[in-house]
Amino acid sequence: MKKYSLYFLLVPAFGLLISCGSSNETATNVAAIYELQIVDSVQVNLLSSGLSIADVNDETGELLAIQPSPPVAYVLSPKGEVLKKMDRLTGDPQAVGDYLLSGEFYEDGIALMGFMTVKTYDMDFNLRESMKPDFTHGGMVYMGFNHLFEIKGNDHNRLVAYMGPQTEFSDKNAEYYQDRKIMTLIDPYLAKEQSLATESMDKEIYKPVGKLASDSRFVTSGKAFSFLKPELDVKDNFLYYAFKGDTTMYKVELSSGEIVGKTRIPFDEFILFRGFSMGPVGLKEQRESGPSDKSGSIERVYKLGDFEVIVYSSGMKLSDIEELDRDSPDFRERLMKADPQKHLIIKNGRRMNDELRLPDKVSHFDMADNNGFLWAHQDISKLEEEPDLITFYKLKVVEVK
């Protein structure tokens, strides 16, 4: 059995500072300036470790909140009151497993995602369908990310999920970058029919969708990139994604899997990871690599109406890192302060915000709903004492100038 690791933070070596050329235009050169503003908040009275908002019901405004481990799912009222709860133990056949990775309101019920497992329920968390694909991968388990989405269909709706790289090749081989798929389309209706069929329908239930662009640097560079993870969002049956260490955002039509748009991300600056050599040579490079630049990293991609919001850090040159004193007991805190998380508000490929730091009171974002709102966590680091309630903020892109 393969072993899997939990995803926390990976900083690749061999950085390259790049400029985005003409796309690096500042927001002061555009006709209007926008920012993310808090327009509402929801307080939840729960003792929970790592609670996040996974989805918002378009019709009722109810919130689907999840705790990854131990796995617990809640349906909350728009005011934050607990309406439903599922905390089944791992051995329960209706549970999702050791970790609850994502969730989504699906048709008139709920879909929850564990490791290589997706299950659908009614609104009382009674099991409907359990789906476990016949493929696996040697990637990592990603907690706290929105990786499960509902997509509309003519006869019924389906789900699309990021379940890790769906390919038989190792990322140390060139074939990996030609073959690797981005997402997996899941059809719960076919899963229900499979129990009545004489042959497996797994290839119809789980369909890989989206390939790396032929001109992507991951395809053309001839280099190897470990843990190549897309940051993504799905809106109106389109997938929007960018890989963590890339400078291009793509738009994919999920029905065909074809790339229908791409945007050069207008970073202020971004240290690009060059990659390792293919094969055993690359493994040796990774083992023997010493201190290096801290590469830039895309942390989130969101689609909000006509805008895209990208959360990222630019990275740091090694010379600047060394000035922070690696032997200092607060070195990590200094590093995070020197290379903070930033955000871009993008419209038609242009940066629309002049303030890059995250909005005041916000520590990080959870998800973007279908009504143009971004949901975020309260930053409690600046509070004098830890609050009794969990506070989520609701933000919107607004014009300020």
Give the mean pLDDT of the chain: 88
Q: What is the mean pLDDT of residues 99-123?
A: 95
In this predicted structure, what is the pLDDT of residue 210? 92
Report the pLDDT value the prediction gives residue 21, as an integer from 0 to 100.
36
Q: Looking at residue 36, what is its pLDDT?
A: 98
Query: Tokens 């918002």 sit at which residue?
Result: 56
C-alpha separations of 249 from 3, 280, 304 in Å: 31, 31, 15
How far is Cα of residue 392 from the mean position of the Cα atoms in its chain? Answer: 18
Q: What is the pLDDT of residue 137?
A: 64
**Average confidence (pLDDT) over 104-128:** 95
Q: Are strands 5-6 and 140-141 parallel, antiparallel or unpaired?
A: parallel
Helix (H) or strand (E) holding 196: none
Torsion angles phi and psi, residue 259, rounded to 5: -75, 120
Give 189 or 14, the one with higher predicted confidence. Answer: 189
Residue % of the chain over a pLDDT of 90: 70
Q: What is the pLDDT of residue 23?
A: 42
- E strand or H helix at 15, and its extent? strand 15-18
- H or E segment at 387? none
In this predicted structure, what is the pLDDT of residue 140?
A: 64
Q: How many CA atoms lie within 13 A of 283 on its CB side?
A: 6
In angstroms, the CA 100 to CA 152 distance is: 24
Tens digits of residue pLDDT in 305-357: 999 999 999 999 999 999 998 889 999 999 999 999 999 999 999 999 999 99
- Please name every residue paired with 5 in a beta bridge, in sequence order, or none if there are none: 140
Task: Quote the pLDDT of residue 200.
Answer: 61
> Which runs of consecutive H residues, i.e. helices, occur in 180-248?
188-194, 202-205, 217-220
> Is residue 48 pLDDT above 80, yes or no?
yes
Look at residue 20 in the predicted model and tell me its pLDDT: 44
Question: Would the pLDDT of 9 be above 70?
Answer: no
Residues 284-319: tens digit of each pLDDT: 888 888 889 999 999 999 999 999 999 999 999 999
Q: What are phi and psi of 37, to 5 degrees?
A: -120, 140
